[in-house]
């Protein structure tokens, strides 16, 4: 069974730009459908768009405040154009009038939507809507060619009866079609058919039946990597320590607690995997002899004897004909040195290193990674973990299929 493409919208941030066209009324239905697919939607309404639909409609339907002004200090303080540009996983301009298409082609930054489109690294798509003569004009066609050459996606237009009484090309696609195309933006296909095994989250090492040793890993990076791998077409198994996170759509999740459980789960599945990505913050040590009953506080000091946990990543990397292995290195100092050493010692194909501590890494929403392999290092600058995960998956896919 083919899984409906709009499953890919789950948890995505879609910034919808609504510009001046009679088709703006269809954008209301589009907001509803994008949200139904699981996306969070914010709307930027251009001055032209506000002539056709009221800001209140979009505010109510999106469940978020509307964005319209570039230089409104109050609005910029709440969420400025740069923050909006970073927030977006995709920017969809629907309807895109001939005017906004021309403005985007020129790279203007004199209104909020144009500025966001310039500032974002997310994919941008336009769904043209205009009179058929305006559509056919060489200026419009030149502008669109320019946008496509720069990687802007074009959804439609369709042909048919137009509001102006004419008939021809220039009608905006229906909301259902734009929703489907938006979902497809996240379907990169770079890992189609591959089986990806991922570990994530912390482990808990029992001291007694009530207490454990653990760490501050939230699991967010690993869950984001699992989601990005699914979007890229992989079949994903996520072996997760205890976290508060929801399982990303289409990911098979196996819950474990201790490092030993995680080791067993990973080693039993690794032979069937093409790629193994170890994002888990596995406890290095566990209490050697966890107490069978609750430990009583009847001594002034208490000594716990710890014993080393197995290294899941190194054991998977050592498998004959094992998967392509990717490790993570969370370091508080000497990042490059330690990551390089780990790559060699654990015989990994790739390692993604990040600084932790001082608000970075473990519990943060954003991260930055230095990714090493035999050919050198690539820096992935600070970004939300979901976006960083997609960049990492793209790098892994590139290295897994060299030369493709």
CB 280 within 8 A of CB 266: no
In this chain, which of 97, 258, 309, 354 binds ligand C5P, going by CB under 6 A? 309
Q: Does 222 bind ligand C5P (CB under 6 A)?
A: no
Closest separation between CB of residue 343 and ligand C5P, Å? 10
| Sequence-distant (≥ 6) Cβ neighbours of residue 352 within 8 angstroms | 326, 327, 328, 329, 369, 370, 371, 372, 392
The smaller minimum CB distance to ligand C5P, of residues 66 and 281, is found at: 281
Q: Rounded to whole angstroms, how far apart are CA atoms 16 and 19?
A: 10
Kindly give the residue spans of alpha helices, DSSP state H, lying in 185-334: 220-231, 259-269, 312-317
Closest separation between CB of residue 337 and ligand C5P, Å? 13
In this chain, which of 225, 282, 356, 371 binds ligand C5P, going by CB under 6 A? 282
Q: Does 105 bind ligand C5P (CB under 6 A)?
A: no
Closest separation between CB of residue 365 and ligand C5P, Å? 20
Q: Residue 178 is inside which H or E element, if any?
A: helix 175-184
- In the window 247-266, what residues touch ligand C5P (CB under 6 A)? 259
Q: Does 313 bind ligand C5P (CB under 6 A)?
A: yes
Q: Does 327 bind ligand C5P (CB under 6 A)?
A: yes
In this chain, which of 92, 144, 226, 280 binds ligand C5P, going by CB under 6 A? 280
Grouping H, G, I as helix, E, B as strand and the rest as coil, residue 180 is helix
Which of 182, 152, 244 has the alpha carbon at shortest distance from 36? Answer: 182
First-to-last C-alpha distance (Å) of the chain: 28
Q: Does 196 bind ligand C5P (CB under 6 A)?
A: no
Grouping H, G, I as helix, E, B as strand and the rest as coil, residue 402 is coil
Residue 117 annotated in active site: no
Q: Does 311 bind ligand C5P (CB under 6 A)?
A: yes
The smaller minimum CB distance to ligand C5P, of residues 311 and 349, is found at: 311
In this chain, which of 312, 317, 396, 397 binds ligand C5P, going by CB under 6 A? 312
The smaller minimum CB distance to ligand C5P, of residues 136 and 374, is found at: 374
Closest separation between CB of residue 315 and ligand C5P, Å? 8
The smaller minimum CB distance to ligand C5P, of residues 128 and 327, is found at: 327
- DSSP-assigned states of every residue in 185-196: TT---TTTT-EE
CB count in 10 Å sphere of residue 355: 16
The C-alpha angle with vertex 7 and arms to 90 and 66, in degrees rounded to 5, equals: 40
User: Of 71, 159, 164, 318, which one is the catalytic site residue?
Assistant: 164
Q: Using CA atoms of 183, 2, 276, 223 in order, give the dihedral in degrees to the nearest 10.
A: 40
Which of 225, 270, 248, 279 has the alpha carbon at shortest distance from 397? Answer: 225
Closest separation between CB of residue 54 and ligand C5P, Å? 51
Catalytic residues: 164
Question: Where do contacts with ligand C5P occur on this chain (CB under 6 A)?
Answer: 199, 259, 278-280, 282, 309, 311-313, 327-329, 342
């Amino acid at each position: 069974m083919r899984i409906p493409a709009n499953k890919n919208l789950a948890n995505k941030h879609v910034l919808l730009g609504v510009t001046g066209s009679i088709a703006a009324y269809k954008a209301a239905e589009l907001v509803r459908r994008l949200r139904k697919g699981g996306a969070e939607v914010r709307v930027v309404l251009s001055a032209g768009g506000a002539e056709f639909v009221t800001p209140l409609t979009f505010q109510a339907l999106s469940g978020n405040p509307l964005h319209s002004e570039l230089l409104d200090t109050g609005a910029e303080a709440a969420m400025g154009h740069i923050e909006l540009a970073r927030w977006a996983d995709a920017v969809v301009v629907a309807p895109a009038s001939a005017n906004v298409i021309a403005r985007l082609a020129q790279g203007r930054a004199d209104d909020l939507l144009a500025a966001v489109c310039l500032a974002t690294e997310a994919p941008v798509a336009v769904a043209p809507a205009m009179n058929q003569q305006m559509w056919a004009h060489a200026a419009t066609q030149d502008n669109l060619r320019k946008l496509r050459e720069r990687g802007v996606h074009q959804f439609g237009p369709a042909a048919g009866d137009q509001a102006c009484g004419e008939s021809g090309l220039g009608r905006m696609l229906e909301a259902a079609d734009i929703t489907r195309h938006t979902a497809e933006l996240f379907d990169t296909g770079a890992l189609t058919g591959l089986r990806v095994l991922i570990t994530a989250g912390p482990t808990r090492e029992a001291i007694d039946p009530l207490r454990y040793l653990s760490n501050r890993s939230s699991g967010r990076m690993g869950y984001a990597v699992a989601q990005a791998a699914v979007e890229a077409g992989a079949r994903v198994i996520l072996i997760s320590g205890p976290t508060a996170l929801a399982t990303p759509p289409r990911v098979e999740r196996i819950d474990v607690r201790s490092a030993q459980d995680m080791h067993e789960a990973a080693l039993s599945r690794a032979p069937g995997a093409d790629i193994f990505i170890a994002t888990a913050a596995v406890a290095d040590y566990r209490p050697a002899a966890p107490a069978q009953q609750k430990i009583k506080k009847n001594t002034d000091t208490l000594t716990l004897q710890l014993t080393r946990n197995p290294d899941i990543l190194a054991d998977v990397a050592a498998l004959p004909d094992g998967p392509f292995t990717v490790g993570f290195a969370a370091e508080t100092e000497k990042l490059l040195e330690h990551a390089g050493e780990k790559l060699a010692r654990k015989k990994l194909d790739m390692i993604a290193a990040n600084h932790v501590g001082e608000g970075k890494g473990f519990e943060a929403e954003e991260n930055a990674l230095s990714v090493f392999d035999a050919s050198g290092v690539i820096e992935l600058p600070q970004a939300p973990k979901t976006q960083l995960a997609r960049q990492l998956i793209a790098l892994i896919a590139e290295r897994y299929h060299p030369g493709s």
